Amino acid sequence: MSPSLAKRFLRSSTLVLAASSCLALTACTPSNDNDWQGYVEGEYVYIASSQAGRLDRLSVLRGQQVASGAPLFMLESGDEIAAQRQARRQLNAAEAQLVDIKSGKRPQEQEVTRAQLAQAQATAAKAALQLSRDQAQFQAGGIAKQQLDDSRAAAETAAAQVRQWQSQLAVDRLPNREAQVRAQQAQVEAAQAVLEQADWKLAQKNVTATRGGLVFDTMYREGEWVAAGNPVLRMLPPENVKIRFFVPETVLGRLKVNQAVTLGCDGCQANVAAHISYISTESEYNPPIIYSNQSRAKLVYMIEARPAPADAPKLHPGQPLEVRLP
């Protein structure tokens, strides 16, 4: 058995013995109807990472009180940092491509189209002037009709070239097709999802406390390999501290949930207030450690009470208590 498992077994055995002792005291120790023996129990929170890796830093010690948001431990994260960097660059590239698609052709490409338009306009002006001259010459009988027809065709062709380049320039100023824009927008959203996943995986390597409490135990040392999902430490938040005690059937009807009780212990400077949080609906027999046949046949019911979070640090799991009605 590994030292950590042996340690957990020893603590679990201690709690079981404490529970058995309290049950024995409930049946064997004379007490009035307002006084019962109980013990403290903790509902532990096991802190783990969903990712595997070497434990690079353990930021807390066993027995330390930590606040919500405090750093607990950090696993090696070189691969996750590289993946995050790659995902961010891919997102930047996809966003730049989307801007380029929405803006149409680049200004340099539009300048080329404008130059072609200017050349076509000059050619059209020259052709129109030549047509005007040929028309005058034809009326004076200086040229044949064929030459006039050629001049007219050249002028019309030049005018058509101007209209073509004007349309091309208008198209260059437009963004690309709507389908292309939608496709690139989908690429941007996919890149954003990849980056979010990379951010989440990196955050899983730097674990912080989701709520304050006591670091009850640590399971690994710095430099050890931690498998995914294996708890690195065990915490006990103050709201997870509870008291268990057992009452006979004759007393059960006097107790109800949220009813106030008072807790006393050896060495406590003052009593601690608590409220009943749970009343078992099932009866149970006293354990075999009790040798009286009469006691063994006597049914008891388990009751749970919880102190205020401010008073919880005064109590320790396995600690025997006296529970009284105020």
Q: How far apart are CA 153 and CA 163, in angstroms?
A: 15
pTM of the full structure: 0.63
The DSSP letter of residue 287 is P
User: How many beta carbons lie within 10 A of that of residue 87, not counting itself?
Assistant: 19
Do 126 and 274 lie in a common domain? no
Do 46 and 95 lie in a common domain? no
Do 14 and 99 lie in a common domain? no
Q: What is the pLDDT of residue 233?
A: 96
Does 86 map to a domain? no
Q: What is the pLDDT of residue 169?
A: 76
Q: How far apart are CA 178 and CA 271, in angstroms?
A: 74
Q: What is the pLDDT of residue 177?
A: 66
**Which residue range(s) make up the domain with 317?**
3-76+211-324
Q: What is the pLDDT of residue 18?
A: 45
Closest Cα partner for 283 from 249, 244, 256?
249
Determine contact, residues 95/101, Cβ cutoff 8 Å: no
Final residue of a domain: which of 143, 159, 193?
193
DSSP code string of 72-134 = EEEE--HHHHHHHHHHHHHHHHHHHHHHHHHT-S-HHHHHHHHHHHHHHHHHHHHHHHHHHHH
Determine contact, residues 115/202, Cβ cutoff 8 Å: no
Q: What is the pLDDT of residue 296?
A: 44
Does 81 map to a domain? no
Total domains in the chain come to: 2
Do 141 and 218 lie in a common domain? no
Do 124 and 172 lie in a common domain? yes
Does 306 map to a domain? yes
Does 56 map to a domain? yes
Does 204 map to a domain? no
Q: What is the pLDDT of residue 286?
A: 58
Final residue of a domain: which of 158, 193, 228?
193
Do 316 and 215 lie in a common domain? yes
Q: What is the pLDDT of residue 50?
A: 94
Q: What is the pLDDT of residue 294?
A: 53
Do 184 and 224 lie in a common domain? no
Q: What is the pLDDT of residue 32?
A: 58
Closest Cα partner for 287 from 242, 246, 244?
246
Q: What is the pLDDT of residue 5?
A: 39
Q: What is the pLDDT of residue 285?
A: 64
Does 82 map to a domain? no
Final residue of a domain: which of 193, 219, 238?
193
Does 172 map to a domain? yes
pLDDT in tens, the chain (326 residues): 444 434 444 444 444 444 444 444 444 344 457 889 999 999 999 999 999 999 999 999 999 999 999 999 999 999 999 999 999 999 999 999 888 777 765 666 777 878 888 888 888 898 888 888 888 888 888 788 888 788 888 888 888 888 888 887 777 666 656 778 888 899 999 999 999 999 999 999 999 999 999 999 999 999 999 999 999 999 999 999 999 999 988 888 899 999 999 999 887 778 899 999 999 988 876 554 444 445 544 688 999 999 998 999 889 999 999 999 98
CATH number for the domain spanning 41: value is: 2.40.50.100
Does 199 map to a domain? no
Query: Measured in whole angstroms, how far is the alpha carbon of residue 68 from the centre of its chain?
Result: 16
Q: What is the pLDDT of residue 20?
A: 47
